[in-house]
Structure 1
Amino acid sequence: MTSDRQTTLQNLRRLLPASLIAGLVGGGLLALPAYVHTWCWSGIACYNHGLFDGIGTFQNLVLGILSLLLTGMLPVALSREGGMKRDFAVLAGGIAGFTAVMVNYLYSQATSVFGHGYAPELSDVLSAIIFPFANHALPFLALALAMAALAAIGAFVVSFFRERAAGPNEGAAASRLILCSTAAAILVVVVLPPLAAHAMLGAEMIDVNPGTALMTTAVSAERTAPGIIVITVEETPPASVLDPGKPFSVFMNGVDVSDASACAASGFSATVEPPGGLSPAKGAEAAWTGAGVSNNGTPVDVVVVARGADGSEIIVLSLRV
């Protein structure tokens, strides 16, 4: 065996463990966008689906690319061998990227089986993993190779700057700087878009769809005494979404008791405090007191309807109290 071949095999043996470890880390990073999307946008996507779904999709794409680049950088940046040839570095990055794709595939298929609410058999898990791969092997391999190529690009970048450095210590420092910068970029992509979206929503700089934004409204009702029912606003959309004249309509046993005037007009035997009824603010409360809300063995049917500025309506509470 020639010395060149021995050197090649030694390099491969040295790089393979680091590549596999980097692939495991990369598989976790590739699973991150799904959780990030839920964390960032699940609470506000309904305000403007077109805008926030588009931003979330672009965010996931950028996170996926950065995660693959970081995966490819890891085995090279963490290597103590400053004289690693660039072709071996690229190979290590590609192996790490391909491993990350496979790890992410196994994770996603396994979690899809366990997410059905029952303990699956081993055969169910194996079927979920094997059958999709067998039926779509070529497209999957093409996608995996493309993603591995992105990881190889990350390894190439680190290797390039490492070779250009004045010495081994400077090269290691440069590679770690690139690694940390990429990790910081991932953090920025995760945090900045939702922060900006929340700030713009608070400043009413984003057009909100009242019909869907009303779905974020949450209202609770409780009986604090035999003749008292208190309704509390737990969550509410931006004020611009709700009808400024009558944001909430309250019905008890089918009678409109939204405010003191409605109670008087319907002859419902109860007083409302405050007289204007339920305010469209988080934490706002209104209490109905009187014989009409007394529980004489039969609970009172309480229905609260939120009204949007565009005329839309949604029942946010239907409860027997």
Structure 2
Amino acid sequence: MTPDRQTTLQNLRRLLPSSLFAGLVGGGLLVVLPTYVHTWFWGGIVCYNHGLFDTIGTFQGLVLGILSLLLTGMLPVALQRESGMKRDFAVLAGGIAGCVAILVNYLHSQITSIFGHGYAPELSDILAAIIFPFANHALPLLAIGLAMAALAALGAFVISFIRERAAGPNEGAATSRLLLCSTAAIILVIVVLPPLAAHAMLDVGMIDVNPRTALMTTLVSAERTAPDAIVLTVREGPPATIFDHRKPFSVMMNGVDVSDASACTASGFAATVDPPGGLSAAKGSEAAWTGTGVLNNGTPVDVVVMAHGVDGSDLIVMNLGV
């Protein structure tokens, strides 16, 4: 075996573990960031403005995917302590890491789709879900895979280039790891900042929202704290700008309007309301109805709660026997 070939094999053996590790990390990022992060951060507000938030979420997922692949390619090169690695080996290491990351992401998506049907699949079902897309869509999948692997290889190329241009091996290693950490920090900022900005803009009314659609996110709970007492609590709700704060929640019990103390008095309903103004239109508000009118004598009290939007829309948010 020639010395050059022996050196090549040694470099490959040295790079392979770090490439596989980087690929697993990158695959995890590709699974978690574009998929679960979108659900965690956007799931609660996307219904307020589907067009805007779906567009932002899609663009965010695309950017996170690109940065994740670049980070995947950077990682195996940045982990190497030796500074004399040739650039072609560095690019190869990044490409291998990218391929592993793509494989992890593909296996996750296919296996998740199989187990999402609600029954335990057989081994043949899992194998079919993994193999058939390759057989039916080989060229598109290959093109997408090569493009994603190229992004990882680009990340490795950048780190290798920085190391070659550094004044010394220690400076090159420090600079490459600084770039690696900076990329990770940028990913974190892109994950957190857009949803935080969206929540803040919703709270101050800077984003157009359909009030009736937003009212659908309201969650009111009813609890019987005593045989003659019912407490209503607003557990979840849309941004404060959606509610018509001039009106409390409308509350009907057994078909009688008992929204506040005045309504109880006018209807002759035998109960007191605390606070007298009723259930305020705000998340976390609470009101209690106490008296023989809500007494549990074996027949549940029918409780209906209606929310009022700032545009005049009304929506029943609870209809329950308590």
Name the counterpart of 2:31: 31
Name the counterpart of 2:174: 173
Q: Which amino acid aligns with 2:274?
A: E
Work out the number of aligned pairs and report it: 321
Residue 274 of structure 1 and its aligned partner are, at CA, apart by 2.4
Residue 117 of structure 1 and its aligned partner are, at CA, apart by 3.8
Residue 302 of structure 1 and its aligned partner are, at CA, apart by 0.9
**Alignment RMSD (CA, Å):** 1.9
Check conservation: 2:248, 2:277, Cα contact below 8 A: no
More off after superposition, 3-12 vs 210-219: 3-12
Residue 70 of structure 1 and its aligned partner are, at CA, apart by 0.4
Q: Deviations over 1:107-159 (max 9, x none)?
A: 12222323344433222222222222322221111101000010011011001
Name the counterpart of 1:19: 19
Residue 255 to residue 179, structure 1, CA distance change in 2 (3 Å): same
More off after superposition, 112-121 vs 13-22: 112-121
* Identity, % of aligned positions: 80
More off after superposition, 197-206 vs 220-229: 197-206
Q: Name stretches of at least 5 consecutive residues in structure 1 with no aligned partner.
A: none
Check conservation: 1:247, 1:308, Cα contact below 8 A: no
CA distance in 1, matches of 2:240, 2:296: 34
SS of the equivalent of 2:241 reads: helix
CA distance in 2, matches of 1:45, 1:294: 41
Name the counterpart of 2:162: 161
Q: Which amino acid aligns with 1:304?
A: V
Name the counterpart of 2:62: 61
Q: Deviations over 1:175-211 (max 9, x none)?
A: 1111111111111111222222223333333333212
Residue 164 of structure 1 and its aligned partner are, at CA, apart by 0.3
Name the counterpart of 2:8: 8
Check conservation: 1:229, 1:287, Cα contact below 8 A: yes
Check conservation: 2:244, 2:281, Cα contact below 8 A: no
CA distance in 2, matches of 1:303, 1:116: 36
1:317 aligns with 2:318: yes
Instruction: Report 1:71-110 matches (<5 A).
Output: 71-110=72-111
CA distance in 1, matches of 2:66, 2:83: 26
1:301 aligns with 2:314: no
Residue 262 of structure 1 and its aligned partner are, at CA, apart by 3.0
Name the counterpart of 2:153: 152
Q: Name stretches of at least 5 consecutive residues in structure 2 with no aligned partner.
A: none
1:288 aligns with 2:272: no
TM normalised by structure 2 equals 0.93
